Amino acid sequence: MDRATAERVRRRASALCEYCLIPQEFDALPFQIDHIVARKHGGAGTDDNLALICLACNVHKGPNIAGLDPLSGEVTRLFHPRRDRWMDHFEWNGPDLAGISACGRATVAVLRINLDHRVLLRESLQAEGRFPFQPAED
């Protein structure tokens, strides 16, 4: 991927993970550019299929495009940062991220967004008044 494309993706995301909204400045590891729909599933390397993602989210997301909704047990597509509005699928419950749709619940589960160490980081940032961030409205 060329540098200009990577910079466009970072700028568009305001340096926030487009899934868990953690800012790059609070993560020691550089964020990655994610193919929302993995190449192995026919996803293109175009801007509309690229998202900024923290390593914690990316490790769990991998090439997944779906997961099980923990409420219904049904296979459900994952959140797509280019096609979905974040606030239609998620809300903050203190430092925990709650899925408010089947897509949101499946995404939180697959990306393991509420693992203890991730919640503790968000909790400490909240105590300092530095979190949560909201995604930019398109």
Q: pLDDT tens-digit profile of 72-131?
A: 999 999 999 999 999 999 999 999 999 999 999 999 999 999 999 999 999 999 999 888
* Residue 137 pLDDT greater than 80, yes or no: no
Query: Read out DSSP for the chain?
Result: --HHHHHHHHHHTTTB-TTT--BGGG-SSPPEEEESS-GGGT--SSGGGEEEE-HHHHHHHTT--EEE-TTT--EEEPP-TTTS-GGGTEEEETTEEEE-SHHHHHHHHHTTTT-HHHHHHHHHHHHTT-----PPP-
Q: pLDDT tens-digit profile of 22-76?
A: 999 998 899 999 999 999 999 999 999 999 999 999 999 999 999 999 999 999 9
Determine if the pTM surpasses 0.85: yes
Could you give the percent of the chain with pLDDT greater than 90?
90
Residue 135 is predicted with a pLDDT of: 67
